[in-house]
Each structure stands twice: as structure tokens, then as C-alpha cells.
Chain A
Amino acid sequence: MTNERAKRPGRAKSMKKRERAGVWIKLLIGVCFITPVLIALVFSFAPNEKLYGVPTIGTLIESFTFENYRWVFYNIPVFKYLSNSLQMCVVIILAQTVLGCLAAYAFSNLRFRGKDVLFQVILIAMMVPGEVCTIANFLTVRNMGLISTLGGLTITSLVSCHAIFMLRQSFKSLPKEMREAATLDGCGEFRYMLQFAIPLSVPTISSLAITTFIGVYNMYLWPLLISRSPDMYTVQIGMSLLISQEVPTYGRSMAGAVLCMFIPIIVFVIFQSYMIKGMTKGAVKG
């Protein structure tokens, strides 16, 4: 290939040009693909009454305004909703990581009676679709008096079987010589877990945390059922109320959509490699 290219520089150049054109076309397709996001972003800065139909670019520039955002911030406690959502994310991520690490460590490094059976139990729990449990869970949580509390929002997601599974794989992949050396030096189980196993599994833990963050932040049905009072609304619930108003106020709902999207998008763009690694590891064989 390279020899041929060297012989015919003209062809190589045209190929290079074509390649570059290909990249630009793909970028253009990408921009078209994320049109919904761009629509939300651009039209959130346009005044409401201009948005019935399609405003031209000229009117968009000329009537650029922060009015929609001002209205949203003035009428909706956006920061309250954001803090509710973030609290929920933090609690769930912490619980899933801590409980997941403990269980995964027991399943990977400790020996106890009934280990295989208990691990099967976790695999079975992984297969039960969450939708089936929603109703009975709602009844349980309500009877516990946890409606409209952070506890009620988070209590059903404290354990993730997927996280246990991934962490177990990660702990198992650590070299056993290290474990033996540590044991000979008198390192106990708890200390080995805290000082070796967990620090060495940080890549797995962070990819799980990112995926969980985006998942929990975007959760809709469970918060809808549990947050009955406006001061416990999460971002998704608050913004969806903005969307489903009787009279369409497109500008405002676009502003709401932007406020709803920007945190996960930023997190995703920065940490996407972690997230993708977490998704593809162990999902498909081959």
C-alpha cells in the first residue's frame, strides 16, 4: 500500500482529500443527529411568541433573550430540584459502591458455606424485571411512611446486582500472588480489601459510578410515584410538569429541557470513556 502511494503522489493526495471530506461529512451528520439538543438550546433563547411555527435565523438573533430562563428560575425552584436529584444520586452511588464492594469481596475472596447458592440468588435477582416490583415496592415504601422523603426515593435502589457482579470480576482479576504475600505479612481480610482490592478496582468503580449517576439523574417513574410534595421533586419531575402544561409555552419548556440536560451531558462528555468501558465489559462475549 505505502509503496504504491509513494509512486503515485497524486492519488495519495486525492485520497487524503477524500478522507478529510469524509470526516467533515460525518461531523455534519453528527450535528444533524443531535438536532433535538440543538433545537432545545437555540430556541430556549427565543421569545415565546416567536416560536409558533419556525422563526428564521434573523429573528432568532435579533430577538435573543434570557426571558425564558428568567421565568423558569423565578417560578420554579430549579436549584431545589437540582439538589434533590444530586442528593439522590450521591446516596445511591455511595450505597451501591459500599454494599457492592463488601458483597463482591465476600464472593470473590472469602470462603463460606452456601456461597454458590447465595451467588445464584444474586443472579436470579438480576433477572427479575424492576417494573414487576414497582407496585408492591410503592405499597411497602408508603406503608413505611417514606413518601416524599429522600429515603423513599433511594431505598429501592441501594443495591445493584450488576455492580456486585462487575466488582466481583474485578476483584477476581487481581493477581493471587499479591493476596498471598499480604497474608504472609499478616494482612487481615478487612485491611486487604480496603488497601489493595478497592484501590486497584477504582477504574471499575468509577465506570459504575458514572453509569449510575446518569441513570439515577434521568430516573422518572419512581420519583414520580414517590415525590408527592413539590419540595421533593427531582429535576426530571419538575421539568416534565413544565412540558405538560395546557397552553404550550415552547420557549419555557425548551429552557427547562436545557436545564434538565446539561449536567448529564457534561458528565458524559468528560467521562464517556469510563462509561463505555463499563457498558461493554462483560456485556457481550466475543
Chain B
Amino acid sequence: MIDDTLQGQSFTHTSERIMGSMENFDSQSAALAGRRRHRRENWAYLFILPVMLALSAFTFYPFLRGIYLTLFVTDKIGNTAKFVGFSNYERIWKSGALMESMGDTLKYALAICAGTFLLALVLAYLCVDKKKGSRIYQTMYSMPLAIATAPIAAVGTYIFGKYGMLNGLLGTNVTWLGNEHTKFICLVILVCWCNCGSSFIYLLVGFRNVPDELIECANIDGANAFVKFFKIYLPIASPQVFYVIFLNILTAFKSFTMIKMLFNSTNEPGLRVLNSQIYQMGFVQNRFETACIYALALCLLIFLVTRIQFILEKRMVHYQ
């Protein structure tokens, strides 16, 4: 980033120099150049204006309005009805629902992160050598990138449904998605499948960064695939590994579509993740102020995890 700004500056300096030589040429053109620069500045503001308008209307304003709403009781359509100060926070804190929801979110995020990461790691290691035909299976492994949650939820309800495939294969009669113990596992399997495409790509890029000479040396020394994986590939791809782990945690914080579609509700006990509660409170129960508090909690959680990521990155990741 610093490099970029420096570059930009040196560039403007050169154009400045051109302008400067023109200025020496005669004083009239100097005034002209000044005016031109001024006009150019106006162009620049015109160029950024739409972006800034959109950002303030649909990113900054709603963020602040969300905080503002938490101090009120809102009516059915989301207008502020009565100022209540911090009593909304107090009510939610006392009910314990927020902490429960945070716990669910963390449990869900860690399970998804672990599953996705391991799956992507195995797949990326399988693709590490470029060979004839490797493009085909590489495309297959990264396929989930293109697929939305809705169709996978449809397949999931068929596989795990009461009259579905798994029961047919095993000859059992279990309601996989209704059962307290199995529903979490089913959900995690499906979400991991959906999420692993991007992790796969990042890890593959990391593994492909490993220089060929290193691998050749290891081969001559008789290192097997496991040793090569743990001693060469994993350390060299450590920036990507690190990035993928945190990417998955953050993605899991934000995803609840699969929960909503598999169980057809956003209030499933044990799976009341923060984002599903935002939907549940805001758009099912029309309690917008409560939803905003959940949204703030989510924001805080994301912020904390990003901080941890920055701190750990400085300590643990070594760039080549």
C-alpha cells in the first residue's frame, strides 16, 4: 500500500514537472495550468461522488441507524415509538438468549471451520501436481464455488429426509434432521461442502507456490508424501492456511441460509446462531430493536475475530 502511494506521488511529480516547464514558458499558460488542475480536481470529486453517496446511504447510515434503533422500542413497521435508553440491552442480557445464541454461533463456526479446512486441505493436496487431466478434477473440487445453498439444501433434505436416501441405504427409520444429535452433524456436512470451494482454491495456490527444487530434493532424500506435506507444503503455504482458517470462521458467522432451508425455521433449538436470530427477531417477530442488538453482537464478534487474526498473523505467519 505504501509502495502504491509512493508510486502515485512520483508519478504526479513527473506530470508536475511537465506542467512546470510549461509554466516557465510563459506566465499566461501558468495560470491556465493552475485552472486546469483545479478543473481536474472537480472531475475527481465528480468521479467519486456516486460511490460516496451509495456508501453513506447503504453502509454507514444503516450502521448508525442500527445503533440508534437499539435505544428505542419500535412499532410493527420499524419506526421508533418510545425512547427507552439502554433497557433493551438490559432485557436481552437478563434473558440469557444472547449468550446462548453466541455460544451456538461459536460452536457452529468452529465445527464448520474445522470441517471445511480439513476437506479443502485434502483436496488441495491431491491436486498439487499439475498433470494431464488435473484441470478436470480441479474443476470438480472447486465446483461448490458456483453452487448456491438452495439446491444443496434440496439435495440435503432428500438425503437426510425421513423417506430419504440415507434411511433407504441403511434400512433405518431415523429422522436425521429432527434428531437433536444428528441434525448438527448433517448441517455441518452440507455447509462444509458448500463452503470448501474457495478454501480449496486458496490452499491450492499456496501449495503451488512451493518451488519444484525443494520437492525434488525431498524426493531424492526419500521423503514420503506425509513428511513432504507436514515439513514442506504446510509451512510454505502458512499464509494461505492462516487466511483460510479465519475466512471460514467469518463466513460461518454470516451464514444461516442452510439452517433456514433445512429446518424451515430460524429458531431451531441448538442452532440459534446470531444471524438467524437477526432474521427471526427482525422479520418474523417484527422486533427490530432486538434484531439490531443481535446485529451489533455479530459485528462485535466479527471485529474481535479480525483483531485476533491480525495479532496472530504478525506472530505466526512468515512470508517468504
> B198 to A279, Cβ gap below 8 A?
yes
A residues 1-44 near B (Cβ < 8 Å) are 1, 19, 22-23, 26-27, 29-31, 33-34, 36-37, 39-40, 43
The stretch among B58-66, B88-96, B109-117, B179-187 that forms the contact with chain A is B58-66
Q: How many A-B residue pairs have CB under 8 A?
A: 293
Partner of A121, one of B52, B57, B157, B169: B52
A residues 224-245 near B (Cβ < 8 Å) are 225, 236, 239-240, 242-244
> B40 to A129, Cβ gap below 8 A?
no
Q: Is B18 among interface residues, defined by CB-CB distance under 8 A?
A: yes
> A284 to B240, Cβ gap below 8 A?
yes
> B50 to A128, Cβ gap below 8 A?
no
Contact with A along B35-50 (1 / 0, CB 8 A): 0010011011101101
Rounded to whole angstroms, the CA-CA distance of A279 and B43 in the bound complex is 31
Partner of A265, one of B51, B58, B143, B261: B143
Check A155/B58 contact, CB under 8 A, given A132-B299, A217-B148, A220-B148.
yes
Q: Is B159 among interface residues, defined by CB-CB distance under 8 A?
A: yes
> B291 to A265, Cβ gap below 8 A?
no
The count of chain B contact residues (Cβ–Cβ below 8 Å) is: 102
Check A112/B58 contact, CB under 8 A, given A132-B66, A159-B51, A275-B145.
no
Partner of B51, one of A26, A29, A122, A142: A122
Partner of A133, one of B62, B158, B205, B264: B62
- Which chain A residue lies CB-closest to B137? A30
Report chain A residues within 8 Å CB of B133.
23, 27
Partner of A1, one of B43, B148, B161, B216: B216
The count of chain A contact residues (Cβ–Cβ below 8 Å) is: 103
Partner of A31, one of B11, B51, B140, B147: B140
> A132 to B63, Cβ gap below 8 A?
yes
> B126 to A26, Cβ gap below 8 A?
yes
Rounded to whole angstroms, the CA-CA distance of A122 and B51 in the bound complex is 9
Check A29/B137 contact, CB under 8 A, given A129-B254, A133-B58, A267-B146.
yes
- Please report B residues at the A interface, Cβ cutoff 8 Å: 4-5, 7-8, 11-12, 14-15, 18, 37, 40-41, 43-45, 47-48, 50-52, 54-55, 57-63, 65-66, 69, 77-78, 123, 126-127, 131-134, 136-137, 139-143, 145-159, 161, 163-165, 167-169, 193, 198, 201-202, 205-206, 209, 216, 239-240, 243, 254, 257, 261, 264, 275, 278-279, 282-283, 288, 291-292, 295-296, 298-299, 302, 306, 317, 319-320
Q: Which 10 A-B pairs have the closest CB atoms?
A: A53-B168, A136-B62, A30-B140, A268-B146, A257-B151, A218-B148, A54-B168, A133-B62, A106-B47, A110-B44
